[in-house]
Amino acid sequence: MASAIIKASQDVIRGKGMEPHMAEQQYFPGLEGIIAGETSISTIEGGLQYRGYRIEELARDASFTEVAYLLLHGQLPSQEQFADFKAILIESSEVPEPILEFVREIPLHAPPMDVLRTGVSALAHFDPQCDDDSTDSNIARAMRLIAQIPVLIAARYRYIHAEPYVEPSSTLRFPANILSMIRGTEIDALDEEAMDVSLILYAEHEFNASTFAARVVTSTQSDFYSAICAAIGALKGPLHGGANEHVMEVLEEVGSPENAESWVRTALAKKQRIMGFGHRVYRDGDPRAEILKTYCRQLADKAGNEELEQIADTIEKVVLDEKGLRPNLDWPSARLYHYLGLDVELYTPLFVASRVTGWAAHIIEQAENNRLIRPRSRYIGPVTLPFTPLSDRG
């Protein structure tokens, strides 16, 4: 059925086999199954791939920095290109002091995603290439944001927790640098590797809601930063990027392995949605969740605390048996970030720190072969109502 829907949507896009008035009658709530454009950046067909490389191989053998280069440039870097790319990221990590001061002055109750969205918008005013919308300039913007977004996240977090600002390091690898700026401690090898893999897995995922929002904004020929801010706004929602925050709430509510089965069966009986399970496009399970689960087990073992893993295993089994749903990436990532000593308020901003690479690649791709994204709607309201002048409406 799904393949038939996709084929029909492709025919609508290409104008094959349908008259225009017939195409207008096609309606798929939430655009489910609709092919809304073409991309060479990633695909989920046959398993998730970035630019033709399977996510399992990238997670096992690549670094997030290599993956960022791959997404932006369309190919893996040579050793020289990789060295240059890393050097530019290091040079680009300095956030202008007025923006750091502004981030400190935002009221403490402001949600971290709102602060991050505002910070990214403010960075636009310091762009040295503000009048240049070429591909090269957009790649340069992407690299600056990849470097600066972690600084914004860490600076705000440490400020609201009354901790001193930690400068970005010129020697640490990207994932260790993020953790160091947030935690203010040295980072061990397993923590660094787990963070690196999580960034790789979150970096790109085809036409998800936030990516599509970025492409829609770009299609109007608006600017790079407006598209990124739109994507951040979309990612903030609990049905998209905010899901892993709610996963942690579930695990904390369950409390212990002994409560897990009764809790989940009660929740299912009440038809309560359990965040972290099921996916619009993965019917046989999210491959990214399986990869990250192995790191959760290693980190739990290192901490000598297996309770969360026992709770998670029980909930996974019951949800699969009762609903046929498997975990998505948000389910293990919540536990992984918890084991890394990261507060829940950081989970979705860290998603941004990774996914900005994919967003940037899509913005560039959309701009290079642009057509205004302007779908139709099916009208379900009243028609041809008689107009009554204001004076006769009582």
pLDDT tens figures, 136-172: 999 999 999 999 999 999 999 999 999 999 999 999 9
What pLDDT is stored for residue 8 in this prediction?
A: 45
Whether 284 sits among the annotated catalytic residues: the reply is no
Percentage of the chain modeled with pLDDT above 70: 92
Rounded Cα distance, 214 and 224, in Å: 9
What pLDDT is stored for residue 18 in this prediction?
A: 42
What does the pLDDT average to over 266-271? 92
What pLDDT is stored for residue 24 in this prediction?
A: 53
pLDDT tens figures, 302-359: 988 889 999 999 999 999 999 989 999 999 999 999 999 999 999 999 999 999 999 9
Rounded Cα distance, 45 and 338, in Å: 31
Rounded Cα distance, 317 and 346, in Å: 28
* Residue predicted with more confidence, 23 or 297: 297
Given phi > 0 = left and psi -120 to 50 = alpha, else beta, which region is 346?
alpha
What does the pLDDT average to over 368-386? 94
Q: Give 274's pLDDT tier (boundaries 50, 70, 90).
A: confident
What pLDDT is stored for residue 283 in this prediction?
A: 65
What pLDDT is stored for residue 273 in this prediction?
A: 85
What pLDDT is stored for residue 282 in this prediction?
A: 67
pLDDT tens figures, 40-64: 999 998 889 999 999 999 999 999 9
Q: Give 369's pLDDT tier (boundaries 50, 70, 90).
A: very high
Q: Which domains does the chain have, with CATH numbers?
A: 2-31 (no CATH), 55-235+356-368 (1.10.580.10), 243-339 (1.10.230.10)
Active-site residue, from 191, 286, 330, 362: 330
Whether 279 sits among the annotated catalytic residues: the reply is yes
Active-site residue, from 279, 286, 338, 362: 279
What pLDDT is stored for residue 45 in this prediction?
A: 87
What does the pLDDT average to over 28-35? 82
